Amino acid sequence: MFGDLLTTLWNNLPAALLLSRAVIVPLSFTVHEVAHALVGTLLGDPTPRESGRLTLNPLRHVESLGVITGVLIGVGWSRPTPIRPHRMRLCDPVGGLLTVLAGPLSNLGLALAGQAAFDALALQPTYPWSGWPVPADFLTVLVRFNLTLALLNALPLFPLDGYALIRFALPLRAAAWWERASGWTTAVLGVALFLMLMLPPTLLVMVLGPPVRWGIKALLGW
């Protein structure tokens, strides 16, 4: 009886989805933050190296709560990589913009790499749920999570990349006002994350599914 109960729980647990995310989430966050660090360093800013962020060690980039929410609901966050555009060889706006853009672009690159792996291995996207994950499950989660991460970072909310892009693009006085507004943008982001944690999974899919599906359709044709 006990064995039957464990079998029933295993078959109903989204193990394939959770295990796939447990691998893909920290990998994606690490690539995202290393992209920021690498571009900033190449442009002459020693801050990422000084802060120990020019490394592929996930422990230097991930936050435990951000990884947990990423695994559970498919949306999370990592530790922002510090940059100082005034230390770069380029002027502040250009260097800052390029460094910030590197993060979301790296996630788009991972999504495209996942699609290339599908084609090379002659696999099809799946809907990971129960059982042990197979390669197609990992690739599906890789593509979907990285597109979600890129779309999420387009939002103009602190500390997302969209907020930083606007700050670097604005003239000095407007940028100072935008920095003062960071508090309420963070509040909006916090409320949104809280609601996502509270929403039933089916309703969460209804909210997040359309933009992610649009991105996948536009970029990959799924």
Tens digit of each residue's pLDDT (9 = 90 or more) over 76-106:
999 999 999 999 998 778 999 999 999 999 9
* pLDDT band, residue 197 (cuts 50/70/90): confident
The reported pLDDT for the residue numbered 7 is 58
The span from the CA of 87 to the CA of 183, in Å, is: 26
> Which one, of 118, 140, 160, 193, lies nearest residue 21 by Cα?
140
Residue whose tokens read 């920095």: 179
Total domains present in the chain:
1
Residue 159: asked if its preceding bond is cis (omega within 30°), the reply is yes
Q: Does the pLDDT value for residue 10 go beyond 60?
A: no
pLDDT of res. 208: 73
Q: Which residues carry out catalysis?
A: 33
Q: Is 35 in contact with 28 (CB distance < 8 Å)?
A: no
Using one digit for the tens of pLDDT, what is the confidence trace for 110-159?
999 999 999 999 999 999 998 999 999 999 999 999 999 999 999 999 99
CA–CA dist 96, 55 (Å, integer): 20
- Paired tokens of 57: 């060690």
Instruction: Quote the domain boundaries for residue 198.
Output: 2-220
For the chain, the first-to-last Cα distance in angstroms comes to: 43
Confidence of residue 6 (pLDDT cuts 50, 70, 90): low
| Average pLDDT of the chain, as a whole number | 90
